[in-house]
Amino acid sequence: MRFSGLRVLKEGLTGNKGWRPHWRDPAPKPEYDLVIIGGGGHGLSTAYYLARDHGLTNVAVLERGYIGGGNIGRNTTIVRANYFLQGNSEFYSHSLKLWEGLEEDLNYNVMHSQRGILNLFHSDGQRDAAARRGNMMLSQGDDAILLGREELRAKVPFLNFDDQRFPLYGALYHPRGGTARHDAVAWGYARGADSRGVDLIQNCEVTGIDVENGRVTGVQTVRGPIRAKKVAMVAAGRSSQVAAMAGMRLPIESHILQAFVTEGLKPVIDHVITFGMGHFYISQSDKGGLVFGGDLDFYASYAARGNLPTVEHVMEAGMALMPMIGKARVLRSWGGIMDMSPDGSPIIDRTPIDGLYVNCGWNYGGFKAVPASGNVFAHLLATDQYHPAATRFRLDRFRTGRGILDEEGTGSQHNLH
């Protein structure tokens, strides 16, 4: 079923009777070439690129809940390619390029909106760091513009420019950055994978990973055992629990991150804005709600809901940056479980168990990574070679110390990234 303007017109005129479900609801088969544990953004995009680029379709995605119920449907939807260090910068650059063609590729409206991101700075030191980052982005072939205070004011006059503690000096502007509708991304990839023959199996929790003589042979699920030649663990916040089923201990801590949305307002914030003196980021959804978030709750947990001290902290940052936000009423807030790696960068690699692969460590930033993550992971699964855009995301870097990608410069500690 292809979507087009003509199709919408035809369905509208004929009572909308021709629409079909986006994906099938198959029963699990006893055996697959490849099983993906986790039907979030990364699991689904991996399945899609396995089928599209490598012709591998005897594949099942096993999801314990429903498609779109994890972090893929809980994030603040920011998409960007503004990383500083080699390793990360080429990967996120690759991802943004895939985003730019995604809707045509999937024949699905993911509402990708390149409205531009403004990373604010508040001191000379921060301006220098922003300039260095901008130069890295340009050298990677991406876009970056250093804005002074008055150029910034012309774009976002409602910010608190003269706050005594956090005066605004300017911003690093990334015009190709922006947002996308998060659950549409899950649905688009799910539909694309399903239409190529991948089985998406919801309500199918994996409860065990079978390993014989150092080689993976399948998984145990609440719907029975499934044999598989290869198994890919793509469980985001629950990666440690899933890896433990194969006797592995991952360098991952799971922390809560909250998000907030206000009542719908008339258009007021045209860009994505990030505060430089606190962890606060905000954009306005196409429905009009202000969507914003801040820091982790700062303790490890598998509860997908947050606590009041962080709510207060996020609201304070919002009020310091744009006092007008105090007039908006918060409609909803929620939490997601973040797979925090010690250096704030992902892991996409084989494991010491033959046929078992891992994709995790997405921290705050895994939504924008969804296209590239699936693309490079599918490449690794199908060819056993690292994709050129993802050669540094090795599992052993935390053991050897080689190749740590400490983007924030804060050291190797999960809750600092």
Ligand X SMILES: Cc1cc2nc3c(=O)[nH]c(=O)nc-3n(C[C@H](O)[C@H](O)[C@H](O)COP(=O)(O)OP(=O)(O)OC[C@H]3O[C@@H](n4cnc5c(N)ncnc54)[C@H](O)[C@@H]3O)c2cc1C
Tell me which residues touch ligand X (CB under 6 A). 37-43, 62-65, 69-72, 74-78, 205-206, 234-238, 242, 257-259, 293, 336, 338, 362, 364-368
Helix axes 88-100, 370-383, angle to 10 degrees: 110
The Cβ of residue 378 has, within 10 Å, a number of other Cβ atoms equal to: 26
* Minimum CB distance to ligand X, residue 158 (Å): 21
**Secondary element (H or E) of residue 320:** helix 308-321
Closest CA to 48 of 298, 415, 374: 374
* Minimum CB distance to ligand X, residue 72 (Å): 3
Q: Which is nearer to ligand X, 342 or 366 (CB)?
A: 366
Q: How far is CA 417 from CA 37, 315, 340, 343, 344, in A?
A: 25, 20, 7, 7, 5
* Minimum CB distance to ligand X, residue 74 (Å): 5
Q: Which is nearer to ligand X, 51 or 370 (CB)?
A: 370
* Minimum CB distance to ligand X, residue 350 (Å): 19
Quote the CA–CA distance of 342 and 412 in Å, as a whole number: 5
* Minimum CB distance to ligand X, residue 31 (Å): 18
Quote the CA–CA distance of 188 and 173 in Å, as a whole number: 29
At 48, list the tokens: 């899609």
Q: Is 333 helix (H, G, I), strand (E, B) or coil?
A: strand
Quote the CA–CA distance of 192 and 175 in Å, as a whole number: 29
Going by the DSSP 8-state scheme, the letter that residue 354 receives in this structure is B
Residue with tokens 């991948």: 198
Q: Which is nearer to ligand X, 69 or 264 (CB)?
A: 69
Q: Is 226 helix (H, G, I), strand (E, B) or coil?
A: strand
* Minimum CB distance to ligand X, residue 264 (Å): 20
Please list, residue by residue across 238-251, b when 16 or more beta carbons sit within 10 angstroms of its beta carbon and e when fewer do. Answer: bbbebbebbebebb
Q: Which is nearer to ligand X, 127 or 276 (CB)?
A: 276
* Minimum CB distance to ligand X, residue 88 (Å): 12
Query: Parallel, antiparallel, or unpaired: how do β-strands 31-37 and 224-233 relate?
Result: parallel
Q: Which is nearer to ligand X, 259 or 389 (CB)?
A: 259
Task: Tabulate helix, strand, coil % of the chain (nearest 5).
Answer: 30, 25, 45
Q: Which is nearer to ligand X, 169 or 186 (CB)?
A: 186
* Minimum CB distance to ligand X, residue 210 (Å): 14
Q: Which is nearer to ligand X, 235 or 290 (CB)?
A: 235
Q: Which is nearer to ligand X, 37 or 405 (CB)?
A: 37
Residue number with the shortest CB distance to ligand X?
A: 40
